[in-house]
Chains A and B, each alone.
Chain A
Amino acid sequence: MARNLQFEIFRYNPQDPASVPHMQKYVLDETENMTLFIALNRLREEQDPSLQFDFCCRAAICGACAMVINGRPNLACKTKTKELPDEITLLPLPVFKLVGDLSVDTGVWFRQMYDKVESWVHTSKAFDPAALEERMDNAVAEQVYELERCIECGCCVSACGTARLRPDFLGAASLNRIARFVVDPRDQRSDKDYYQIIGNDEGIFGCMGLLACEDVCPKGLPLQNQLGFLRRRMGITALKRLFK
């Protein structure tokens, strides 16, 4: 027997002076293999065309549809309704600026992060189109890729205790990004250079070790390992500075 799902959805349109933040109830019949992607689109197309939420790839590759689903940040596209109780509560991700309803602005947050951590390969070499590519060990290439799998959904940031307390905290996604360049032999930055960016409370020493970032990462990235890895390297760099 198909269930009737009760949705409690956060509603607020900051562009509309008449709008006030509130929860709104919707009812929808469940169909086979239903995901929140299908459910939310049906709600918008059949019941409430003003409902705002973000989807893009709808295949857990792009990270657009992160939201708080029954209390936990996750991707809506890969959340199946059959895994949820009859009552489903949906809230936008905290920390990020609200665009409306379930839609938040992750783009600006992440772009500022790229600028802060200088998220690109730093090298003094120039590209020579006539030459063979520089050789690289395959295992190293795979290690770099493993850290680059982050889809910038924002779940780790929104679940982070420190990020909720201080807006300047870089968060797990940014520290993972730094780790990506630390392991890449093409990047000529030294630990001292990285220390300038993350050797403080906004960076690696601000983490309280609550582990929520890794718990909620929909890609299963080993975020705490990266934090540990960087904390050790930055700790050693700090000690070297003390005794120099």
Chain B
Amino acid sequence: MQTYFSDLLVIGAGLSGERIAVEAAGAGFGVNVLSIVPARRSHSSAAQGGMQAALGNCAMGKGDCPDVHFADTVKGSDWGADQEVARMFVDNAPIEMRQLAFWGVPWNRVVPGKSTFFKGGEKFEKIEEEDKEGLITARAFGGTAKWRTCYTSDGTGHAVMCTLDNRCAQLGINVFDKKEAIALIHDGANCLGAVVRCLKTGVLEAYVARATAICTGGFGRIYKATTNAVICDGGGHAIAMDTGLVPLGNPEAIQFHPTGIVPTDILVTEGCRGDGGTLLDVNKERFMQIYEPEKAELASRDVVSRRMTEHMRAGKGVKSAYGEHLWLDIRHLGDKHISTKLREVDEICQNFLGVDPRVDLIPVRPTQHYTMSGIRTNKDGAAYGLKGLFSAGEAACWDMHGFNRLGGNSLAETVVAGGIIGKKIAEFLQGHEVNFPTKTIRDALLKQQSRIDALIAGKNGRENVYRVREAMQDALMDGCFVFRNGKDLEKCVNVLQEVMERAKAVGLQSSGIGANPELSAALKIQGQVKLALCIAKAALERKESRGSHTREDYPERNDRDWLKRTLAYWPEGARLPRLEYEDPTPYYELPPGERGYGGGKIITADAEKIAKLTIKPGAKPAEAAKAKTAN
């Protein structure tokens, strides 16, 4: 058995993982990074849009500052965000973008002079200032008051990923690829590393470390329809939950996007609808105006997803070998518009569907897109429940997104949080001593080896892992997708509990030798069903509608009873998660109010309680604490 030691073990080599690694290595600590795929293939590299940071360099971003960014983020979160965290994020984002520029990201820059842009199909003019020439520029994104999204053409994630991975190579950080963590090693109080399966040889190895950071991204793949890469399967969340000590924050907070293409659920941009594209049903008729007379196709992501689902439920969906879908029609926009303004959509249609959007309709359906949910951490990125365990990025519930994430805030979070939390981990490592009992390490390894042996021998049963996974995905799609209600959620929970019994009885059909993919799937299926049950059970309990969580039977946002964060624990041997709740934020810089879009009734919180927790806008955490004591 091979054992590797380092000060810090980072599980996941996407942007947040590598950003943490760079920070800790820069402070002089030894870092090992694990990745299921070569680092640059991480899902971070698929992000196209950009990163929000209030630099205020471009004409349409004039007057922008962290305070405006803060307000957008908190409103966007439907007041589910931790405002102390959101403040740290917006204040650090501009510095982080500059640091990335220094390391080599080719951000697009301000070009002075007159230029035109489109908004709602209309043409406008803007003039970029001479004295801003060559500074980092920005583009517009939904839900933001200013143009704030820094970008590199349509490949921001890829460009930043290359830069950070280069930085890792420069610092000599070991990035081990094709390695999958299948369990955490811990002594009940301290996290000591992970048991890792090599995806080249199938051999188990131990990676021990004084601190461990889980940065494995979202878990969209537990849904059947998702925009996520195939590696975003919840593996990191599962090993944290398996300890029984670490909770998942807000599992019910899952974001859906209206236009994933069928069959592969690759995203086509919101720009299609923004530029005048329409949604059609099985009869090739428009329907959005029936539900949303004013905004029609231009309603927000969550609203359009809901209406599409409703329409398909009413029997107006198009049947296909891959399930029901609707049509997106951009034919009328014409060749010129499609080949210039929607080039990427054109390429996706041609490459993956063999469809020409000038003459053909595009098959689309609402699709899982982002998990606001994640491993619950405090503002330093330290996970609840185990000392020495950290998490950042989409894998974590840090929690700056609350119940709805704004475009451009996810990619920015990966690096900004990675930088902040990397620093905190370095501080932690300074003063942290821990024992590594060889027995604890050996026991952890033997436990995983016996799991593998049992799966290969079919000792638990002969269930097919792919059929079980399908049953889990179907249950979530049926009961816990865009719309939720008490009846369907209860059914979903029940079905998933049956699926869990089947997951426990999985046995391999193949030999399991080497980098066997069936074994990879089998090792994580129980963890995935646990995650699914956390989502369904937390959604069943949350009797209100907030952000992406929409209850048909409780349509109002209920601040009186539900201004709180869900914590889902999975004690060993339990059949359901244990749910606890905590306040979403230590104080309010921005007290709960209307978001300014999306509508909906609000049941207000106790005004006195909110007033007590409210601090002066822009006050820093330290001042806030002082203000609180003074009160």
Contact = CB atoms under 8 A, between A and B. Distances in A.
B169 A63 contact: no
Contacts of B109: 135-138, 141
A57 B229 contact: yes
B111 interface: yes
A57 B177 CA distance: 16
Nearest to B228: A57
Nearest to A34: B263
B134 A135 contact: yes
Contact of B107 (A59, A121, A141): A141
Interface string B505-547: 0001111011111100000000000000000000000000000
A31 to B, nearest CB: 4
B178 A61 contact: no
Contacts of A49: 465-466, 508-510, 517-518
A133 B178 contact: no
Interface in B118-175: 133-137, 152-153, 155, 158-159, 162, 165-167, 169-170, 175
A121 B509 contact: no
Contact of B264 (A51, A58, A127): A58
Given A62-B41, A82-B354, A145-B153, A135 B135 contact: yes
Given A103-B515, A135-B133, A37 B264 contact: yes
B135 A15 contact: no
Nearest to A105: B200
B277 interface: no
Contacts of B200: 99, 105
A191 interface: no
Contacts of B274: none
A129 B94 CA distance: 9
A129 B98 contact: yes
A8 interface: no
A149 B158 contact: yes
A57 B111 CA distance: 33
A114 B168 CA distance: 10
Given A45-B466, A107-B38, A145 B111 contact: no
Given A114-B169, A121-B104, A62 B352 contact: no
B41 A38 contact: no
Contact of B46 (A57, A135, A142, A144): A57
Given A119-B166, A133-B97, A50 B201 contact: no
B99 interface: yes
Contact of B166 (A77, A80, A114): A114
B602 interface: no
A49 B518 CA distance: 6
A145 B152 contact: yes
B508 to A, nearest CB: 7
A14 B99 CA distance: 44
Contacts of A55: 230
- Give the contact-size bracket for chain A: 35 or more
Given A44-B517, A107-B38, A137-B109, A56 B101 contact: no
A57 B104 contact: no
- Give the contact-size bracket for chain B: 35 or more
B320 interface: yes
B30 interface: no
Contacts of B134: 135-138
A145 B159 contact: yes
A184 B103 CA distance: 11
A111 interface: yes
B45 A62 contact: yes
Given A110-B38, A120-B166, A149-B155, A16 B466 contact: no
A186 interface: yes
Nearest to A186: B104
B37 interface: yes
The interface residues of chain A, by DSSP majority, are classed as loop
A151 B153 CA distance: 16
A148 interface: yes
Given A115-B169, A120-B166, A127 B99 contact: yes
Contacts of B348: 59
A78 B351 contact: yes
A141 to B, nearest CB: 4
B518 A141 contact: no
B166 A61 contact: no
B72 to A, nearest CB: 22
A142 B108 contact: yes
Interface in A42-92: 44-45, 48-52, 54-64, 77-78, 80, 82-83
B153 A35 contact: no
B510 A48 contact: yes
A204 to B, nearest CB: 21
Nearest to B201: A15
Contact of A80 (B169, B262, B266, B354): B354
Contacts of A149: 155, 158
B110 interface: yes
Nearest to B37: A56
Given A62-B37, A133-B97, A16 B511 contact: yes
B117 interface: no
Interface string A181-210: 000101100000000000000000000000
Contacts of B111: 138
B597 interface: no
Nearest to A45: B466
A62 B38 CA distance: 10
A1 interface: no
Nearest to B103: A121
Given A50-B510, A136-B134, 16 more contacts: A49-B517, A56-B41, A56-B230, A63-B41, A107-B178, A111-B175, A119-B166, A119-B169, A129-B95, A135-B133, A138-B108, A138-B110, A142-B153, A145-B106, A152-B41, A184-B106
27 contacts: A13-B514, A33-B354, A35-B264, A49-B466, A49-B509, A49-B517, A50-B517, A52-B515, A52-B516, A56-B37, A57-B41, A57-B43, A59-B264, A62-B45, A111-B38, A114-B165, A118-B170, A127-B102, A133-B101, A133-B135, A133-B136, A136-B134, A142-B108, A145-B152, A145-B155, A186-B102, A186-B104
Q: Can you list the 8 inter-chain pairs with the closest CB atoms, starting with the nearest?
A: A15-B514, A135-B134, A107-B38, A50-B510, A107-B177, A49-B518, A144-B106, A62-B41
Interface of B: 37-43, 45-46, 95, 97-99, 101-104, 106-111, 133-137, 152-153, 155, 158-159, 162, 165-167, 169-170, 175, 177-178, 199-202, 229-231, 262-264, 266, 320-322, 348, 351-355, 363, 465-466, 508-511, 513-518
